[in-house]
Each structure stands twice: as C-alpha cells, then as structure tokens.
Structure 1
Amino acid sequence: MTPDELDRLIALRHALHSAPELSGAEQETAARILSELQRLNPDQILTDIGGHGIAAVFDGAAPGATVAIRCELDALPIQEESSLSYISQTSGKAHLCGHDGHMVMVLAVAEEMARQRPASGRVVLIFQPAEETGQGAKAFREDTKFAEIRPDMVLSLHNLPGLELGHVSLPVGPANCASRGARIRLTGRTSHAAAPQDGRSPALAIAQLMQKLAALATGGALDEDYALTTLTHATLGEPTFGVAPGVGEVWVTLRTATDRKMQELIEAVHVMVESAAADLGLGHMITYHDVFDACTNAPDAVQVIEAACHAGAVPITLTESPQAFSEDFGQFGKSARTAMFWLGVGESHPQLHNPDYDFPDALIPIGSGIFIRAIRQLLG
C-alpha cells in the first residue's frame, strides 16, 4: 500500500465516519461502498443481500476454495462527543464501534485483489448490514443470493481497546459470547390504590425476579459454564399514586460463552418466570431480542490467521478465552469454517461504544495486510 493509497483510504474512512447510518438503514453507506467497488471491476457484485449487504467477487484463474472476508456497515444510536474534524454530522448517530475502519480495510483488500487476482478459487468480500442488532449476518446468510457466493472459509476482525496498538489477540476455539435480551412481561389486574387486594399486582413478582435473575450469573472465567445476567430495564404500572399496577416488565441481557450454556440459561429463566407468575395468578410472556449466537474459531482458520500475522511480523497472542462482547459473525460458522481476531487500538483508548471513541487510522494497513496474506496463503 503506497502512502497515496493510504491517504485516500483514510479520507474515505473519515467520510464514512461523518455520515453514519443505523442497523438496517445503511442505504447511503452501501451506495458509497458500491461505488468504490465498481471502480475496481470485480468479476461479480451482488447487492441488497439481507438488506443493504454487498458482496464483491474476485475470481482466480484455476478452480479452488472460496474465501470470504467480512466487515460491517452499521453505526450506533449514540451521540458522538469529540473535536474531530470529521465528527458525525447526524445527531444521535455515530460510528463508535469502528465499522467505518473495518469497511476501509476490506476495501484495501479489494484494491489488492483488483491489482492481482488470486491464483485459484475466488475471494468474496462481504459488507454486512445490521451487526449491532444481531440480525444482519442471519439475514445475509438466509438471502437466496448467498447461495451464489457460499464460502468455504470466512475471516473477520474487530478492533479492541485495551490491547496494545497493532497487536492481535486470536482466540483458539470460542471467540465471542452468545447473548440475547429477554423482555419479561407480567400481567395482572389494576385496582384502586386504596384497595390493592382487589387487583393482582405484579410488583412482588418483579422484585423477586430481579433478585433471582441476577443470581443466575455464575461470573468467573469465560469458560463453558460462564453465565452473566445483566438487568437493563424495569417498569411497573403507570406513574400515578391512585392505581395499584396491573402490568410490569423486566428486561435482562443473558450472556454465555457457549450456545449450550445459553440454552440452559433460557430454560432456567422460563422456569423462574412461570413459577413467579403462577404464585400470584399473573399472566406472563417472554420475548427475545438482539439475539447473538456464540462465535467459535475453526482450527484451520486460526492457523491461517496466525501464519498471516507471523509473515507480516504482526505481534500476536493466542488465547483460549472468548471476548465477553457478542458478534453475529457466528452465523457464518453454521456453513463455513470461520475465524475472528481482535486487533488492538491501544491500552488506554476509549472503549467501544464510548461517545469519544474513534478508530485509529494506523490500523488500516495492518488489518488489511493480515487479510491479504491470509488470502495469498490459501489461494496463491
């Protein structure tokens, strides 16, 4: 990558940063990415996959495997707080997870593939919508267009505050936790506040559930038995002094290192809610939102990333503990061998989703270089 090419990619990253779009609404972002890809003349471009998703295909000269590199299009519903010259121009929306940087790194891979196609197989560059809500990867894979590009291996990365700038953390096995939001609704019957005994209030059940749900968390190491329950919201009746409430809700985020443990946690929550509702004669309903399956790295994909880091003298640490963060990248593991690695942005860098977070431009050649070396290793 020449200095001029890097400067152009940085300028593009800043432009994407200033124009964020939320999950499922990435129309202009996708249009900008499409324009950049068309300039490079890939052998095939598929659009509107699972929403605003895009896939660019670069064919090799000989038959071989299909290797995909995946990044994300969406931003977050958070107000940015910074003095950046390219700060978000849309109130309440910002690229505070680094997806703007991820997109540009994959475009850098596209630049290299345009210069020199793989010797065999094909490279598919995936620009996926709606990662932040956990809906994008599933919709992308379930789209009928996905059958045209179904990869044998999919590689991805995420930047990581707290890890030294430019260093790689590569999980061996579990890579990201499973998580989902459980919205628990209890319904009874209102009554006059002077005669609460003539209604059925969910207040006691909600109070008990908040304690019991929190107690389901095991804490400790991020191993196969790890479980975290985070209470995020609760409501009870209406804001009035004259009515004993007839409805209430508790929202809790469930998080585990494995899908097996997640299923156990879900079953425990159902038993707990059913018991609390039955004791007080309440109706109950549980719905799930922002569902993320666990991500697990395949051994051969891990070896590819490790070799690509060593070949480029990128510092790398192998780890057996997943990140507590969730990622819908795990969906691609249902039909391909996958690996996600973490690329450090600095030990004192603002955390992901902080209002003053920004992706470091110095990572663009590092991340794209790892992907390019991985592709050359696999496809020549």
Structure 2
Amino acid sequence: MKKFSEIRKEFHQIAELSGKEYKTAKKVVEILKNYNCEIVPNIGNTGILAIFDSGKEGKTISFRAELDALPIQEVNDFDYKSLTDGVSHKCGHDGHLTCLLALAEKLDQQPPNAGRVILLFQSAEENGEGAYAMFHDEKFKDYHPDFIFAYHNLPGYPLNEIVYKYDSFTPAVTSIIIKLNGRTSHAAEPEHGDNPALAMSKIMQRSLAIAKNDINDKDFSVVTPIYQILGAKDYGISAGYGELHFTLRCWTQKALNELVENIKEISKEEAQKESLQVSYDFTQDFQANENHDEAVDILDQVIKKHKFSNQKRAYPFKWGEDFGLFTQNFKGAMFGIGSGKNCPALHNPDYDFPDELIDHASDIFFAIQKEILG
C-alpha cells in the first residue's frame, strides 16, 4: 500500500494535460518493466497496453485507466503538489492509473489461469479524444477484448463503496456549434443586411424549451448554452455572422442523435426565416457508457462473493466519460468506488485522490478477471 501510495504521489507531481502525457507514460512504462508482461507503447499517441498472457486459450479481459490531468491550479499545499502551474490531477487519474499498476503487480505474482489480461492506460480522457485515438489505432486491433471494465472514484460516497448499475452509467454528450452566415450592413440600415441576432435568440429559446433536465424522465436531456459570437465592437456595423455553442447530453446514444437532429432542424427553420446560411461543427464527443448486462452480472457476482460494500444507482451520472466508446463496441461496464463522503468534489482545486482506494480497486479488478478466467 505504501509503495503504491508513493508512486501515486509521484504521478500527481508530474500532472500533464490531455494528449501531452509524455512524462506520465514514460514513468508507467518504467514501472511495468518490473513485471512479466508484454508492453505496447504509443497506442493512440501516449496510450500503453500491458499484456499478461497465460499462453492458454481463453478470453481477453481489459481494464482501463486514464493518464491525463486538468487545466486547474492546485490550491493544496502538501509536499507532493503539482509541479506544473495551472495543471493538476483534479479528477483522480493519477490514482486510477496507479490502481492498474497495483493490479500489474498482483498479476505478476498470480498470472491469469487462461486467456489474457490487458491493462489499458489511455491518454486524453478529459477532452474525449483519447479513447477514439486508441480504438482507431491499427495496433489496437490485435488486442480487442471480450470484456472491458473501468471505474471512477466518487466523492460524496462512502469510502470503498462500489456504485454500479445496469444500462447507461454515464450519458452520451456532444457539443454543437451552430454557424449562421448573413450579410453585414450599416448599423443605421440593418434592413440592407442579414443580421443573425433574431435567429440566434429564437434558436436559443426553442432549443432550451425542448430540454428535459429531469433525471427521472426516461427522455432525459440537457441543453446547456456555452458560448456565443455575434459581430464585433464596431458600432456602425450590423453583424453578418454569429455562432451558438451548446453542450448536449442524453442517457443513450440514440436519444442524443435525435436531440441533435431536432436542434439542427430548429436552426434551419430560423435561419431560413432570416435569409441566413447555417452550418454545424461538433466537438467534445463522449459516447454513452451503456453497460452490458453480462459484464454487470460478472461485477455483481464478484460483489456478492467478496461481500464488497455496494449500492445500485437508480439513474446514470450526468458527466461525460469517453470509456463509452469501449462499451459501445465491447461487452463492458463502468462502475464507481466511493472516495469518501467528505472528499472534495471532482474538478475542485482542493481535490486529491484517496490512496486507500488503490489496493481496494486493484483487488476488485483482480477478482473480476478471476471470475471470468477461473
């Protein structure tokens, strides 16, 4: 426990942003070299695979953790605080990846009885780009798993309590950028141009009106205005261009696709009324974590067999998680582990991952692979 606690604190100090986890990845590889596993680096940029192969026929089980930190200035003053100004591990990815390293040690001491176990260290979770880059890397095709699991630490829940559910664990999320092109004119004669202001206000009103931000609604959806652009501080010019940025989320991928189409239709209608051209960009995509029944059944069996403290959650968490790309393509499940009722919230500047979770989380992962591989 103390060994991996110290390792976690070293990762905490070298916090790096999404897609730039070079020192973090290098350190992960250095530690993995202590164990009897095949190491495949540079998957989808800085991602790493550690393969523990029994040499016998059997299923492939994968466990994922993240490498990246956040652009948040740390306010903690402990001796292992982040050494990079404005960047710190405020989501606990330093702890998640350390749990996988602790699992690597367990697998080195007790190798899988059949099949293989793959530890997947993924970059760029925070911006939704890491899972996509890893999944589409040609080198990853040889390591597609039969089952894949991941967890996230959960402030506000009792320490070490497993929080799980069937179906969606986190929603599908995307951000849409609606671009409206008109014509500038003199501010004294707006009738000679096509100003997007009225269309923007109507699109805003109508888009917000179709949201159903109620966790108990089966058609749950959130439409959040993020940013907008209209003209410039040139007071003699009536604007000819505008942008609206929304972040959208729904419990399922299907529902999100329908919400996107609805908002596109609204914007087309309002743009046409004002003689505007409309186009769209999308960013920060997170597919829904739709847990597979079979994967959750395995987790449920492990919980019962080992009498782990647990609770079933009634509805998904509202934040996005790019592990959803894996659960959309493989039999997978994401679950939570409580990091303490008084633990500061994720993304808060005073948050810190509780080291007590390292051994517990790696034990859960180890038990899952034993349940599947025997």
Shared topology, TM-score over 0.5?
A: yes
Equivalent residue number for residue 164 of structure 1: 158
Q: Distance in 2 between matches of 1:241 and 1:371?
A: 61
Q: Distance in 1 between matches of 2:192 and 2:291?
A: 56
Among 10, 15, 37, the alignment partner of 2:10 is 15
Look up the SS of the partner of 1:309 in the other structure.
helix
Taking structure 1 as reference, are residues 323 and 207 closer, same or farther at Cα in structure 2, changes over 3 Å only?
Answer: same
Residues 169-197 of structure 1: CA deviation (Å, up to 9, x unaligned): 11111111000001111121222222222
User: Does the aligned pair in 1 maintain the 2:290–2:328 contact within 8 Å?
Assistant: no
Q: Distance in 1 between matches of 2:314 and 2:57?
A: 35
User: Does the aligned pair in 2 maintain the 1:193–1:244 contact within 8 Å?
Assistant: yes
Equivalent residue number for residue 3 of structure 1: none
TM-score, L = length of structure 1: 0.95
Q: Distance in 2 between matches of 1:300 and 1:51?
A: 31
TM-score, L = length of structure 2: 0.96
Among 89, 103, 108, the alignment partner of 1:114 is 108
Equivalent residue number for residue 358 of structure 1: 352
1:195 and 2:171 correspond: no
Question: Structure 2 matches for 1:68-83, cutoff 5 A?
Answer: 68-83=62-77
User: Does the aligned pair in 2 maintain the 1:312–1:369 contact within 8 Å?
Assistant: no
Residues 310-364 of structure 1: CA deviation (Å, up to 9, x unaligned): 3443211123421111111121124321011111112232221112211111111
Equivalent residue number for residue 243 of structure 1: 237
Question: Structure 2 matches for 1:218-237, cutoff 5 A?
Answer: 218-221=212-215, 224-237=218-231
What is the deviation of 1:159?
0.8
Give the residue type in structure 2 aligned to 1:271.
Answer: E
1:37 and 2:32 correspond: yes
Taking structure 1 as reference, are residues 155 and 35 closer, same or farther at Cα in structure 2, changes over 3 Å only?
Answer: same
Residues 258-303 of structure 1: CA deviation (Å, up to 9, x unaligned): 1111111011011011111111111211111011111111122112
Residues 17-50 of structure 1: CA deviation (Å, up to 9, x unaligned): 11111111111111110111111131x2111111
Segment drifting more, 213-222 vs 338-347: 213-222
Look up the SS of the partner of 1:62 in the other structure.
coil
Look up the SS of the partner of 1:105 in the other structure.
helix
Question: Structure 2 matches for 1:237-316, cutoff 5 A?
Answer: 237-316=231-310
Q: Distance in 1 between matches of 2:278 and 2:88?
A: 36
Residues matched between the structures, number:
374
User: Does the aligned pair in 2 maintain the 1:222–1:322 contact within 8 Å?
Assistant: no
Among 88, 98, 104, the alignment partner of 2:98 is 104
Look up the SS of the partner of 1:197 in the other structure.
helix
Q: Distance in 2 between matches of 1:239 and 1:308?
A: 61
Look up the SS of the partner of 1:166 in the other structure.
coil
Gaps of 5+ in 2: none
Look up the SS of the partner of 2:320 in the other structure.
coil
User: Does the aligned pair in 2 maintain the 1:179–1:294 contact within 8 Å?
Assistant: yes
What is the deviation of 1:61?
4.7
Aligned-residue RMSD, C-alpha:
1.4
User: Does the aligned pair in 1 maintain the 2:170–2:319 contact within 8 Å?
Assistant: yes
Equivalent residue number for residue 326 of structure 1: 320
Look up the SS of the partner of 1:174 in the other structure.
strand
Equivalent residue number for residue 66 of structure 1: 60
Segment drifting more, 308-317 vs 114-123: 308-317
